[in-house]
Amino acid sequence: MKLTSMQIQRVQDQIGLTPIPEEHPTVPQLKDEFGEHTFFLVNEGLAVLHPAKNPETGRRAAVLVKVAGWTTEEHNELAVLDPEPTDLYIALDADGPDRAD
C-alpha cells in the first residue's frame, strides 16, 4: 500500500514510524521484491501497511505487516518473510477511527 503524505503523517502521529525516504538507494530493490509500498523499518525488520478492518472497532484501517526480518545484530541485512500481520492498526482516513466502511 502506497501512502499519501497525509497518511504518512497519521502513521507518525499514531505509532511514531517514519517511512524509508523514496530517494533512498534501497527503495527500487524493495519495490522489486515487495511491490509498490511505503516501507517502514521496525525493530524486527521491514514492514508495510495493508488495508484491513480493525477487529476492535470494525472500522476501516491499515494493519502493519512485517515482510522481512533482520539477519544480523547490526540490523544491516534483511531476509524475506512470509507476510506477518502485527496487532498494530492505523486509522488512515481523514475521519480517523470514526469512519465506517
What Cα–Cα distance (Å) separates residue 4 from each residue in 7, 35, 38?
Answer: 5, 16, 9
User: What are the φ and ψ backbone dihedral angles of 100, each rounded to 5 degrees?
Assistant: -90, 160
pLDDT digits (tens, 9 = 90+) for 44-92: 999 999 999 988 888 889 999 999 999 999 999 999 999 999 999 999 8
Q: What strands, in cross-sheet order, belong to the sheet with 40-42?
A: 40-42, 45-53, 60-70, 78-90
- Predicted TM-score (pTM) of the model is 0.86
Cα–Cα distance measured from residue 76 to residue 40, given in angstroms and rounded to the nearest whole number: 14
Residue 37 pLDDT exceeds 90: yes
Give me the phi and psi of 87, to 5 degrees please: -100, 15
**What are the extents of the domains in the chain?**
5-91
Provide mean pLDDT across the span 18-25.
96
Identity of the amino acid at 63: V
